[in-house]
Structure 1
Amino acid sequence: MAAASTPAVRVRRVYDDPSPDDGVRVLVDRLWPRGLKKTDAHVDEWPKALTPSTELRRWYHGPEGEYEEFCRRYEAELDAPEAAVALDRLRDLAAERTVTLLTAAKDPSVSHTSVLQRELNAS
C-alpha cells in the first residue's frame, strides 16, 4: 500500500499571477508589497509574526549581511512564542492542503521564505 503524500509548501513571488494549485496563499513579508493592490494579491493569510524582524531585515540588506548568518538569526526568531504559534498554524494547514508562501523578494531562494519552507516541510 502506497503512503499518502502530504501536501506541499511552495514559495512564489506575490507579483506572479495566482494559480489554482496555490492552495492557501500566505504572505510572509512584514510590509505590503509595493505597487500591489490587496484585491489583486489574493492573499488568504498574512502572519506578520513569521516575518523577519525589521532589525534583521535591515542587517541582511546592509553591508555586513550574509545569508548563512541571516538564516541562523531568523531561525532563532521563529522560536519566539508568537512566531511558534503562527508556525504551528501553517503546519496544520500544510497537513491538509497545499500552502504557498508569498514574498516580494526578487530571489526567494536566498530569502527568509526558503528557511520558512524548510521548517514547514520538515514537520
Structure 2
Amino acid sequence: MGKILVKRVYEPVAKSDGFRVLVDRLWPRGISKEAAKLDIWLPDLGPSTALRRWFNHDPARWEEFCRRYQAELKEKSALLTTIKEQAKIRPVTLLYSARDEQYNQAIVLQNFLIKRTH
C-alpha cells in the first residue's frame, strides 16, 4: 500500500498529495470547494457528531476519543475500502480542518488504516 498522509485542508495543494480526501463531517469554514481541490469528501468517515462534541479537541480526552472513534471506524468498511483502493496506486492525503495538528481525527484514521493493511 502507498503512503497515507495527513494535512490541514488550508495548506497549499501539492502534487505529492496524490488522492485528496476530506475526512471532516462538516465542511471547513472559509474554504471553497474549488480551493480545497478535493478528489472526494467522505463526511461519514468523520467522528459522529456526539463524539466530536464530546471530544471538543481536549487533549485530556484524546485516548478515549481514539478508542471510541476507532470503534466507529470498524463499522465503515465500505468507506475505508475507497481509501485503501486509492492507496494501492498513489499516495492518499487525509485532509482535516482542525487547528490542532496533533489531536485530530485524521491522525486516528491514518493510524487505523495503516494498522489494518499491514
Partner of 2:4: 9
Query: How many Å separate the matches in 2 of 1:111 and 1:121?
Result: 16
Partner of 2:77: 84
Partner of 2:54: 59
Query: How many Å separate the matches in 1 of 2:57 and 2:41?
Result: 25
**SS of equivalent to 1:101:** strand
User: Quick check: 1:38 aligned with 2:33?
Assistant: yes
Query: How many Å separate the matches in 2 of 1:62 and 1:111?
Result: 7
Query: How many Å separate the matches in 2 of 1:38 and 1:49?
Result: 18
Give 1:109 shift.
2.1
TM-score normalised to structure 2 length: 0.91
Specify the structure having the higher radius of gyration (Cα).
Answer: 1
User: What are the ranges of 5 or more consecutive residues in structure 2 without an aligned counterpart?
Assistant: none
Query: How many Å separate the matches in 2 of 1:49 and 1:85?
Result: 11
Given that residues 22 and 42 in structure 2 are in contact (C-alpha distance below 8 angstroms), is that contact kept between their aligned partners in structure 1? yes
Given that residues 11 and 108 in structure 1 are in contact (C-alpha distance below 8 angstroms), is that contact kept between their aligned partners in structure 2? no
User: Quick check: 1:21 aligned with 2:13?
Assistant: no
User: What are the ranges of 5 or more consecutive residues in structure 1 without an aligned counterpart?
Assistant: 1-5
* 4+ residue segments displaced more than 2 Å: none
Q: Deviations over 1:27-78 (max 9, x none)?
A: 0001111010111100111112211000000000187x60000000000101
The total of aligned residue pairs comes to 116
AA of the residue aligned to 2:55? Y
- Structure 2 vs 1, CA of residues 76 and 54 (structure 1 numbering), >3 Å: closer, same or farther? same
Query: How many Å separate the matches in 2 of 1:58 and 1:85?
Result: 25
Aligned match of 2:104 in 92, 96, 111? 111
- Structure 2 vs 1, CA of residues 62 and 20 (structure 1 numbering), >3 Å: closer, same or farther? closer
